[in-house]
């Protein structure tokens, strides 16, 4: 049997020969990490065995590069990867550490078995419950929380989750609520935000969720992000950067001149509504910006030039000034999430 895919997506990798940083399509398997030049490639550019490897995160070997982690193999080879943002790095690191631990213990990689370890009743439908929790009117309200000089956007507290479960009569008491919340966490519907909740997830306790006002969590497909608070009140941001970050991540973008496709890191902001794109391999300044106010965004099957990037999941943004942008997501779900987020911002942002 082929090793199971645990996680895949774009990361920036440091070259082992020329020391240049380039975006790669990275696939985490049960026993190795494969990296490809493009997602559509059939054979990997390289493979890193996980057996005996050690992981370092955060890796601060590179001054201006954030969200880097290092994987050192038994052959004393160091491999450096850079994520687009903190939460993306954390989920990669968590899964790689678990894969290494499973190899050492002779176990198969598996998410925590919710129904076996927590004895979840068969009548509980976690997917349906998750959708109810995300309901805009009757679900859990996403908040902007400031703590320890950090700002957590689009998140909620652990005790709010238990309170909501009780209010909807989904559970009979807080202990039962902890079981359900831990199940949602173990299955990936909820994600930890902040040191307190992350440490609980990394621990060995059967109940990994905290019924605590200082434990923060967020929906897996939300626009959560964390930022440091600046004490410098004199910093004046360019108007288009004042907007709150709604979503961020890597997408393929088609160039306007050569019509070639390149991986870019995108940051979606609202009020004002802008989609900035950056070179994921480095650089603090954006390569460009798309003003989204009044734009139209739709899923498409191909570009007018028929120069597809080798896969589906394409979508098009047409600005109010009638400039066309073609982008490609890594999966149908990711495309849908980007389209929905851009549609909301285009209607509400300046």
Instruction: Flag whether pLDDT at 99 surpasses 80.
Output: yes
Angle at 288 between CA 254 and CA 331, to 5 degrees: 45
Burial class (CB in 10 A: 0-12, 13-18, 19+), 167: exposed
The pLDDT tens digits of the residues spanning 166-203 come to: 999 998 899 999 999 998 887 778 888 888 998 888 77
- The pLDDT value given to residue 53: 95
User: What span, in angstroms and rounded, lies between the C-alpha atoms of 283 and 101?
Assistant: 35
Residue with tokens 């609202």: 270
Tokens coding 69: 């982690």
Residue 350 confidence class, pLDDT cut points 50, 70, 90: low
Instruction: Flag whether pLDDT at 310 surpasses 60.
Output: no
102 neighbors 112 (Cβ within 8 angstroms): no
Tokens coding 259: 């019509």
Q: Alpha-carbon torsion 160, 185, 333, 33, what sign?
A: positive
The percent of residues in the chain predicted with pLDDT above 90, rounded, is: 44
- The pLDDT value given to residue 274: 92
- The pLDDT value given to residue 230: 40
- The pLDDT value given to residue 254: 92
Tokens coding 171: 């559970």
Instruction: Flag whether pLDDT at 273 surpasses 80.
Output: yes
Residue 275 confidence class, pLDDT cut points 50, 70, 90: very high
Residue 116 confidence class, pLDDT cut points 50, 70, 90: very low
Question: Using H for helix, E for strand and C for coil, what is the string for the chain?
Answer: CCCCEEEEEEEEEECCCCCCEEEEEEEEECCEEEEECCCCCCCCCEEEECCCCEEECCCCCCCCCCCEEEEECCCCCEEEEECCCHHHHHHHHHHHHHHHHHHHCCCCCCCCCHHHHCCCCCCCCHHHHHHHHCCCCCCCCCEEEEECCEEEEEEEEHHHHHHHHHHCCCCCCHHHHHHHHHHHHHCCCEEEECHHHHHHHHCCCCCCCCCCCCCEEEECCCCCEEEECCCCCCCCCCHHHCCEEEEEEEEEEECCCCCCEEEEEEEEEECCCEEEEECCCCCCCCCEEEECCCCEEEEECCCCCCCCCCCCCEEEEECCCCCEEEEECCCHHHHHHHHHHHHHHHHHCC
- The pLDDT value given to residue 237: 44
CATH architecture classification, 239-348 = Roll (2.30)
The pLDDT tens digits of the residues spanning 65-79 come to: 888 999 999 998 999
- What is the average pLDDT score of the chain? 84
User: What span, in angstroms and rounded, lies between the C-alpha atoms of 90 and 96?
Assistant: 10
The domains spanning 5-105 and 239-348 adopt the same CATH topology: yes
Report the DSSP beta bridge partners of residue 218.
191
The pLDDT tens digits of the residues spanning 330-347 come to: 989 899 999 999 999 998
The percent of residues in the chain predicted with pLDDT above 70, rounded, is: 87
User: What span, in angstroms and rounded, lies between the C-alpha atoms of 220 and 218?
Assistant: 6
User: What span, in angstroms and rounded, lies between the C-alpha atoms of 226 and 218?
Assistant: 11
- The pLDDT value given to residue 305: 67
The CATH fold assigned to 126-219 is: Arc Repressor Mutant, subunit A (1.10.10)
- The pLDDT value given to residue 70: 95
The pLDDT tens digits of the residues spanning 201-246 come to: 877 666 889 999 999 999 876 767 776 644 333 333 466 777 788 8
- The pLDDT value given to residue 224: 73
300 neighbors 30 (Cβ within 8 angstroms): no
The closest alpha carbon to 7, from 33, 37, 39, belongs to 33
Tokens coding 313: 């999941």
Domain extents for the chain? 5-105, 126-219, 239-348
- The pLDDT value given to residue 147: 85
Instruction: Flag whether pLDDT at 32 surpasses 90.
Output: yes
For the domain made up of 5-105, the CATH class stated in words is mainly beta
Q: Mean pLDDT check: name the lowest of 28-37, 248-257, 301-310.
A: 301-310
Give mean pLDDT, residues 77-93.
89
């Amino acid at each position: 049997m082929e090793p199971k895919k645990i996680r895949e997506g774009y990361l920036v990798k440091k070259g082992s020969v020329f020391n240049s940083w380039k975006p790669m399509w990275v696939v985490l398997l049960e026993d190795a990490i494969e990296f490809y030049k493009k997602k559509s490639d059939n054979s990997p550019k390289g493979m890193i065995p996980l057996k005996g490897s050690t992981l370092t995160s955060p890796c601060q070997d590179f001054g201006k590069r954030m969200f880097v982690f290092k994987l050192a193999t038994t052959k004393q080879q160091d491999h450096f990867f850079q994520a687009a943002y903190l939460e993306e790095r954390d989920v990669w690191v968590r899964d790689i550490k678990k894969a290494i631990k499973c190899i050492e213990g002779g176990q198969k990689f598996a998410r925590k078995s919710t129904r076996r370890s927590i004895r979840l009743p068969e009548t509980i439908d976690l997917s349906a419950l998750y959708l109810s929790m995300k309901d805009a009117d009757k679900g859990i309200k996403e908040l902007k929380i400031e703590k320890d000089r950090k700002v957590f956007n689009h998140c909620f507290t652990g005790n709010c989750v238990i309170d909501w479960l009780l209010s909807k009569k989904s559970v009979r008491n807080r202990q039962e609520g902890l079981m359900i919340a831990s199940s949602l966490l173990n299955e990936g519907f909820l994600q930890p935000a902040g040191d307190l909740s992350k440490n609980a997830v990394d621990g060995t306790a059967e109940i990994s969720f905290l019924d605590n006002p200082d434990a923060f969590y967020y929906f897996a497909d939300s626009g959560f992000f964390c930022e440091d608070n600046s004490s410098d009140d004199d910093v004046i941001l360019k108007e288009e950067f004042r907007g709150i970050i709604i979503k961020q991540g890597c997408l393929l973008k088609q160039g306007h001149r050569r019509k070639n496709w390149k991986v870019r890191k995108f940051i979606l902001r609202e009020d004002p509504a802008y989609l900035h794109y950056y070179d994921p391999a480095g650089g603090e300044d954006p390569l460009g910006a798309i003003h989204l106010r009044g734009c139209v965004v739709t899923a498409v099957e191909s570009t007018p030039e028929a120069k597809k990037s080798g896969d589906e999941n394409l979508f098009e943004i047409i600005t109010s000034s009638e400039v066309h942008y073609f982008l490609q997501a890594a999966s149908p779900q990711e495309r849908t999430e980007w389209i929905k987020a851009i549609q909301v911002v285009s209607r509400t942002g300046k």
